[in-house]
Structure 1
Amino acid sequence: MKNFFVFLLILSFHLASAQTEKLFFYIENDSLLGVKNQNGKIIISPKPSWNSGAYYNNREIKSEIFNIDFKDNLFAYYDRKGEFIFQTFMTSEGPDGFQEGYIRYRENDKSGLYSDKGKKITLAKYDWISPINFGFATFCNGCYFDTTKNEEHAPLEGGTWGFVSKDGLEILPTDKRNHPKDFETKDHRFIPYQFQYNDKEKQILDFFEKRKDKITQINGFSCKEKTLYFEIFHKPTEYDNFYRIKTFELCDSYLNGADENYDAFKNFKVSADGKNYYVLYIDLVNYKEYSEYVERKIPVDTWIKQNLNKLK
């Protein structure tokens, strides 16, 4: 029995250590980039990087998976054990970023989805797949980019098209609307509403619904439709202890979801206890050795009051 309690004590110590382990990027010889923990243990050995300055020395890694651009493995994501996970999907504007907690990846010239927790959501089995938007993605097989058309972004043509949920399940559209927020496709079928909430989360969203008119008065709309949704796409974790909410504008036959990395004042955070509500914007901070984009928070009601006064 004594040995059993000693075992439990050791096990709990290791579990606590694993949960609180901090990771940091570090740079050697000006251009070699690696990862180590708070005790100096090397997690990823330093290697040449095309962009080591962007990581800067001792920058803490506050996510479950993270990107490093090694010269011999560009646009790659790793887990907190230092294991390579996947190669990022490339767009015409560069490597893909996370949307609603999901990112596209490439494998054997096919595409799929990973979550920001490092979970493979779908196999890489699609010729093309869109970012997650409003809880689902569009995919096609047998399609191609028609570069013969004189357009800035070559359109996708042909192929078999479908939809996949954020759980990796292919969605069969319905012939009638079963929920007010079911999304109507171009061929007038309906994608089932993909979000579910408990009572606490419903109360959080109700806070924004009550302020919807004021928020839209400040931000306006990017399309003629005047329909705005608020949805929770991230729940509190060890690395980001907030609920994250984004806005979606219904624009004809598509939903324009706010970009979580660029769209100022269209993304929100709520503290884990549901008591503090913030609107977000990104600020470029220039330090002596490096520059970085920093997320800033303003209490929602303070922001509304300040901006409505400006509109008077």
Structure 2
Amino acid sequence: MKNMKLYMVLIVLLVPVLLFAQQRLYYFQDQRTGLIGVRDQAGTVIIPARGHFYRELDSRQPIADSLINLLDVRHRRDSTAAVAFGSTYDRRGNFKFHPMAFDNGPDYFVEGLSRCVDNGKVGFVNLQGAVVIRPQWDWMSPFNYGYASGCNKCYLDRSTDPEHASVALNAGGEKIYINRQGQSVPLMNHRQSDKDLPIDGGFLPYPFHYDASEQSIVDSLNALEALSKIYAAYLPKPVTGTSGQLHFEILEAPTAADPYYQIQGFTYDDMQGVDQFLFFRDRAGRFYHAGPGGRLIPMNNWLKASLQNCGRYFNEHRNAPNKFNVNQYLKEL
């Protein structure tokens, strides 16, 4: 999930287009205090200058995000696992939540949810900034495949690696697995479905449920053999059976703020989301892929370019273990 941050940023950029057109907002720096705030194009202060500088900000470019983060809470480096990284506001300047600190910045969105912190406990917010799972755990991972894992009575152990601390359990600590409703889900000893999630030596049940219309969306992508071919093309070892195949699941249904289904490709081996196989579908049935700057690329255009890239890769790597007839799939477009 190394590149998931990029893809979730693209998703967030798709949401505020109408807001962007209605009200242009800009960062500004108070010359006396050096703190960062937000004001509109008329100069009216929307968020007072209270944020500490932590990244490159261009005050000349309008803010495109629907949620705005300022580092107005100092990032602590202690043994607490749930550490806040500033505060997040909406475009009207209303405080929404304290994002969890991750990778020297505020946590990002994965599967439409991001971690927040309140009184040292972790919960989750949605893309609109609403707290949808109450903060109640000492630590929690980002979501993957409809689940997050975390713990209570745990801490960040910096004894061996101060820069990349690991989460460790105190005496009496417990590991916890939750679904998107925030409900605790027990680990199973045996797999009940080939789509159950393997984790920590056990399994969590297949979490997705669809009506007939949603199932047809998933089936249409699962039937596109070219997608798995493109995925397997760059793998270093030969694939057999389902090891080189993807299956697709709906992460988000359309809302008033976001008119697209979001559909993610997952591996069969470990049910990990593959970043480049994140697609959008509008209500008219058209599929898209997220391009640079949040621009939506029609599915067939993306497929054609991806297949051509595979062809170039095979020409440069004659011994690629998962070569396929690229022209065969190009003819089907």
TM-score computed with the length of structure 1 as normaliser: 0.72
CA distances 1:122-180 after superposition (whole Å, capped 9, x unpaired): 33221210001111100111223333335973332333101111111111234444444
Residue 231 of structure 2, aligned match among 219, 223, 236: 219
TM-fit CA distance, 1:72: 6.1
Verify the 8 A CA contact 1:48 1:71 in the aligned structure 2.
Answer: yes
- Structure 1 residues 71 and 270: alpha-carbon distance in aligned structure 2, compared to 1, 3 A threshold: same
CA distances 1:247-269 after superposition (whole Å, capped 9, x unpaired): 22244xx43223xxxx4x32111
Identity among equivalent positions (%) equals: 27
Residues 79-90 of structure 1 aligned to structure 2 (within 5 Å):
79=90, 81-90=92-101
Alpha-carbon distance in structure 2 between the residues aligned to 1:129 and 1:232: 22
Verify the 8 A CA contact 1:27 1:46 in the aligned structure 2.
Answer: no
| Counterpart in the other structure of 2:88 | 77
TM-fit CA distance, 1:43: 7.8
Between Structure 1 and Structure 2, how many residues are aligned?
Answer: 270
Name the amino acid aligned to 1:68. N
Alpha-carbon distance in structure 2 between the residues aligned to 1:29 and 1:55: 10
| Counterpart in the other structure of 1:68 | 69
Verify the 8 A CA contact 2:96 2:130 in the aligned structure 1.
Answer: no
| Counterpart in the other structure of 2:318 | none
TM-score computed with the length of structure 2 as normaliser: 0.68
TM-fit CA distance, 1:227: 4.2
Residue 120 of structure 1, aligned match among 131, 137, 150: 131
CA distances 1:9-45 after superposition (whole Å, capped 9, x unpaired): xxxxxxxxxx999443234578753255x9x695824
CA distances 1:54-77 after superposition (whole Å, capped 9, x unpaired): 3645736564xx123154686321
The structure with higher relative contact order (CA 8 Å, sep 6+) is 2
TM-fit CA distance, 1:98: 0.6
| Counterpart in the other structure of 1:308 | 307
Q: Which structure has the highest strand share of the two?
A: 1
Name the amino acid aligned to 2:287. Y
Alpha-carbon distance in structure 2 between the residues aligned to 1:27 and 1:186: 44
**1:131 match: secondary structure:** coil
Alpha-carbon distance in structure 1 between the residues aligned to 2:294 and 2:154: 38
Residue 249 of structure 1, aligned match among 243, 267, 274: 267
**2:218 match: secondary structure:** helix
Alpha-carbon distance in structure 1 between the residues aligned to 2:98 and 2:253: 26
Alpha-carbon distance in structure 1 between the residues aligned to 2:88 and 2:250: 25
Residues 230-309 of structure 1 aligned to structure 2 (within 5 Å):
230-251=248-269, 254-258=270-274, 263=275, 265-274=276-285, 276-281=286-291, 283=292, 294-309=293-308
